Structure 1
């Protein structure tokens, strides 16, 4: 069976890029783990935050597939996973409509979160949708101008974790908040967001290392294109360092030894890091990309567990 004969359902699964969903779910787990620790856990806002994050991730994947094909960034020479628009598996108009519908569903879920969290959630939601569209689309797609890593760090780490915590904490307060009520955004939430932010960024680092030569030829100036292999690897190492330093900081701050649980993933992280430092080919980096996503999921779940369990037990 050739790629053009692939069942349409399978093509849509490729377009949704389900392997990227840990990057959306992981920060929600961390924010919820901290909410449990701080005794502000609210199950419905937490669930809505998770569903909204997953929908925005899928919609962003559709947007990237559509806009990268239209702009010529995706070509037959790219080494990564199949793109349905560029390969002709799905008509561009259908991908664009799927993007719009999925973003609309995310906004629909967001209306409940706005009712709970007020104006801050309006700002977060609109910024997240706009960022998802502008990563690859618009007159200045920042994924093509070296800003993709910053986008991922901010929205898949800082915003996602603190937003998840905030909406749960705010659910215990009366009224419609016009700004951040006292106690709804502690420094601990910002600090707890850093490991997820760092590891999610590393997914993009691996992606951009793999695609560096084809991106450069297509005129896409990812950060890897701008700073080269050596400094991209330095970035990867720095992000790994952040991911494993923060649980230690929480332990020193008195959160208990269970917050060190993410350190058990170090034996998994080491060989992945070695691959990133030594290889640039898709045969090595495609599996490494999947392994970094699994590392993000495992690290975040363990960190959330370590934060939550002392309160539950």
Structure 2
């Protein structure tokens, strides 16, 4: 996909842009990838004692800001590399379609990081300074996903990094700041969310497969091809549900976590739409359904754990 070099594609003054434009810049459907793990990690910690709500909200806001900033870095570098045009599909493209200046997007992203850093200081002061290193690594990955000389998004490791740093690690950090430790159980509970956050990334790459291939990206979707990538996505969905079933059967998770089964309509929809669609605009609803799977699954999982604390 080549950038449009016509005069009408140049950014215009953004002073009169409405709230919706700025909200879309955060790519809100992806923010659940940060919200759900914090809630789940905190629900797991409830069994170990009382919850420190100051730490919970600080962690929640910091993670949302880091995710929003990561999306803005994506917006900025996709524009700089000519990947976004006013005809691009998706809620990205605020620069090319809505006229927001690239410099403004970068400044907003850095501002989000600055606030997240301040919140991180508060979290470390009330838990452990070892978390400072972990937090900085997570922020670095957020930037390097699309920034730097070899962006992670150009490699087959995007799903791994997103699932690990925006799924599993957030759950474990949220658990640690409440309990002061990381347990085998907390790791086991984090695995299905690790998979589902990775699935969000994979669904995005399936939708953008043709454009990514043209621009030299070597994502999992590009390497496997659409059909095999959709099959992999289906396997990831199935694995997440079966993992919870395994936790229940082994007695690790309360029976209430079986509530996650209520979210299965979303992954079925995602796979069906991906199989039928051939153009990015046709597959966009499948990506949305994948993100919704993570949201609904994660919240039902957390509710099941929460209820299990009182009825076990």
Partner residue in 1 for 2:97: 87
Q: Does 1:144 align with 2:142?
A: no
Say if 1:93 and 1:275 are closer, same or farther in 2 by CA, change over 3 A: same
Say if 1:35 and 1:71 are closer, same or farther in 2 by CA, change over 3 A: same
Q: Does 1:25 align with 2:14?
A: no
- Secondary structure in 2 matching 1:117: coil
Q: How does 1:1-313 map to 2 (within 5 A)?
A: 7-39=17-49, 41-76=51-86, 78-87=88-97, 89-170=99-180, 184-254=181-251, 255-312=253-310
Partner residue in 1 for 2:5: none
- The structural deviation recorded for 1:77 is 5.2
- The structural deviation recorded for 1:303 is 0.4
Aligned partners of 1:216 and 1:225 also within 8 Å? yes
Distance, in Å, in 2 between the alignment partners of 1:227 and 1:70 is: 27
Distance, in Å, in 2 between the alignment partners of 1:282 and 1:230 is: 15
- The structural deviation recorded for 1:191 is 1.3
Distance, in Å, in 1 between the alignment partners of 2:50 and 2:247 is: 19
Distance, in Å, in 2 between the alignment partners of 1:102 and 1:134 is: 16
RMSD: 2.1
- Secondary structure in 2 matching 1:64: helix
Aligned partners of 2:256 and 2:305 also within 8 Å? yes
Unaligned 5+ runs, structure 2:
1-8
Unaligned 5+ runs, structure 1:
171-183
Which of 1 and 2 has higher RCO (CA within 8 Å, sep 6+)?
1
- Secondary structure in 2 matching 1:72: coil
Distance, in Å, in 2 between the alignment partners of 1:265 and 1:76 is: 34
Aligned partners of 1:27 and 1:196 also within 8 Å? yes
Distance, in Å, in 2 between the alignment partners of 1:125 and 1:146 is: 23
Distance, in Å, in 2 between the alignment partners of 1:153 and 1:123 is: 19
- Secondary structure in 2 matching 1:45: helix
Distance, in Å, in 2 between the alignment partners of 1:97 and 1:146 is: 29
Aligned partners of 1:209 and 1:280 also within 8 Å? no
Distance, in Å, in 1 between the alignment partners of 2:89 and 2:300 is: 32
Aligned partners of 1:212 and 1:224 also within 8 Å? yes
Aligned partners of 2:34 and 2:167 also within 8 Å? no
Q: TM-score, normalised by structure 1?
A: 0.89
Say if 1:76 and 1:156 are closer, same or farther in 2 by CA, change over 3 A: same
Listed one character per residue, the Cα deviations across residues 258-291 of structure 1 (whole Å, up to 9, x for unaligned) are: 0111012123332322222332323332112222
Distance, in Å, in 1 between the alignment partners of 2:134 and 2:127 is: 10
Aligned residues: 299
Distance, in Å, in 1 between the alignment partners of 2:304 and 2:48 is: 13
Q: TM-score, normalised by structure 2?
A: 0.89
Distance, in Å, in 1 between the alignment partners of 2:97 and 2:86 is: 8
Aligned partners of 1:158 and 1:190 also within 8 Å? yes
Q: Identify the range of structure 1 (284-293 vs 133-142) with the bigger mean alpha-carbon deviation.
A: 284-293
- Secondary structure in 1 matching 2:126: helix
Q: Identify the range of structure 1 (243-252 vs 56-65) with the bigger mean alpha-carbon deviation.
A: 243-252
